[in-house]
Structure 1
Amino acid sequence: MEYHFRKAKIAEIPSIWAILQLAIERRKKDGSNQWQDGYPNPDVVQKDIEKETGFVLTDGETIVGYCAILINDEPEYAKIEGKWLTNDDFVVFHRVAISEAYLGKGCAQKMMEHIEDFARQNTIYSIKADTNFDNFAMIKIFEKLGYTFCGHVYFRGGQRKAYEKMLVKFF
C-alpha cells in the first residue's frame, strides 16, 4: 500500500466524520469517556480544514485517517502538571482517528511519522501531544515511537496524559 499524507479538503468532511464517528464509538465500547461529550464534531473538522490544520492519510483515493496539526497552538499545554522536555517551538496533533478497515495496519504510526516530517519541514524539533489516561492503544504508540511522558494537562474538565518527543536535527 502506498499511503499519502496531505491537507484535508472541505468536500472530504463526510468521509472524515464517518471515520471519527466510528472512533468515538470505539472509545465508548472500550469504556472510555474520551470523545463522549460531543467533541470532536463536524464543525470542529470544518474549522480544522478552513484553518488548513486538518490532514488526511490516504490509500489511493481512500481516506484512511485524520488528524489536526498545529504549531505552537495549545494554550492548555502552558498549564501542564509536570514539565515539558523543551520550551521551544512545537508541533501538536489532535483528533487522530483511523478507519475501521485499516485498524491494525500501522496507520496511526504512519500518520505520526508524517507529523514528524511536517515538523522537520517547518524546522521544529519538538512534538507534543496528549491522550486520555485509558487510551491504551495511543499510549502504546507513544511509547513505541519514543515519546516521553511529561505530566498531565486538562481539556473540558478531563485529565489527559501529556507526551513530548524531541526530533533529531538533520544538518
Structure 2
Amino acid sequence: MEGTNKEQAKTFIFRKAEAADADHIWEILQQAIERRRLDGSRQWQDGYPNPDTVKNDLENGWGFVLVDDEGVIAYSALILNDEPAYNQIDGAWLTLGDFLVVHRVAVSDRVAGKGIATRLFKAIEQYAIAQHIPSIKVDTIFDNPAMLRVLEKLDYIYCGEVILFGAPRKAFEKVLG
C-alpha cells in the first residue's frame, strides 16, 4: 500500500526534449532495444534507432520526454504531417487532414510495466489537442504486444498496414476531440 501512495504522489512532466537529455534518451532507447531483442523481435535490431537518430530528433524539435521526480523515464518523437510511409497504406486512414506522427516510443527499465507508455500517450494526446492537431497516427511492428495493448486500451483504430524500413507495420489512428 505504501508503494502505491508513493507512485500516486509522483509528479510527471511531459516536455520537449533538450540537448542535455540526449544521453538519458539514448540509454532508454538502448534498454528498449534490448527488451525487444529478449522478446525475440527483430524490431530495432538493425542499428536503428541510434545516437544519430536522437541527435536528429533533437535538432528538428521532434524529441519529447516524460519526466518524473527522478528524471527522464520515457521518450518519443513527434512529427507533424510527415511520414512518407503513411502515404501508401494497405487500408485507409480515418482522416486526411493534419496529424501528429508518434515514433520511437521507449520507456525506461526503471518504470517498465507500470503504465508509463499509457501515461506518455495520454500526454501526447493532450499536447496534440493543445496544438490544434486533430489526429494522431502511429505504427508498430506486429510482434510488439505491449505497444498493441496500449493502442487498444487508448482506443486507437487499426487502419491497415504500412511499410516502414522494408517491413510491414500495423498502422493506427486516433481522432482527437
The normalised TM-score by structure 1 is 0.96
User: CA separation in 2, counterparts of 1:78 and 1:6?
Assistant: 28
Task: Give the percent of matched residue pairs that are identical in Structure 1 and Structure 2.
Answer: 53
User: CA separation in 2, counterparts of 1:23 and 1:36?
Assistant: 10
User: CA separation in 1, counterparts of 2:105 and 2:86?
Assistant: 18
Q: Is 2:127 aligned against 1:118? A: yes
2:5 equivalent in structure 1? none
- Of 43, 47, 51, 2:56 maps to 47
User: CA separation in 1, counterparts of 2:75 and 2:60?
Assistant: 15
2:35 equivalent in structure 1? 26
CA offset at residue 60 of structure 1? Answer: 2.2
CA offset at residue 61 of structure 1? Answer: 4.7
CA offset at residue 28 of structure 1? Answer: 0.7
1:147-162 alignment runs, 5 A limit: 147-162=156-171
Q: Is 2:141 aligned against 1:127? A: no
User: CA separation in 1, counterparts of 2:69 and 2:82?
Assistant: 31
User: CA separation in 1, counterparts of 2:66 and 2:96?
Assistant: 29
Q: Which runs of 5 or more structure 2 residues have no equivalent in the other structure?
A: 1-9
Q: Which runs of 5 or more structure 1 residues have no equivalent in the other structure?
A: none
Q: Is 2:95 aligned against 1:86? A: yes
Question: Residue 25 of structure 2 aligns to a residue in which SS?
Answer: helix
Deviations 1:127-149 (A, max 9, x none): 10000000000001100000000
Q: Is 2:66 aligned against 1:63? A: no
Deviating 4+ runs (over 6 angstroms): none
Matched residue type, 1:33: R
CA offset at residue 111 of structure 1? Answer: 0.7
Deviations 1:89-109 (A, max 9, x none): 101110000000101221111
User: CA separation in 2, counterparts of 1:9 and 1:122?
Assistant: 19
1:12 equivalent in structure 2? 21
Question: Residue 162 of structure 2 aligns to a residue in which SS?
Answer: strand
Deviations 1:65-85 (A, max 9, x none): 000001101111010111001
1:128-147 alignment runs, 5 A limit: 128-147=137-156
Deviations 1:16-67 (A, max 9, x none): 1111001001001101000011100010111111111101100025110000
Across the aligned residues of Structure 1 and Structure 2, the Cα RMSD in angstroms comes to 0.8
1:38 equivalent in structure 2? 47
Question: Residue 57 of structure 1 aligns to a residue in which SS?
Answer: strand
Question: Residue 93 of structure 2 aligns to a residue in which SS?
Answer: coil
User: CA separation in 2, counterparts of 1:27 and 1:64?
Assistant: 17
Matched residue type, 1:45: V
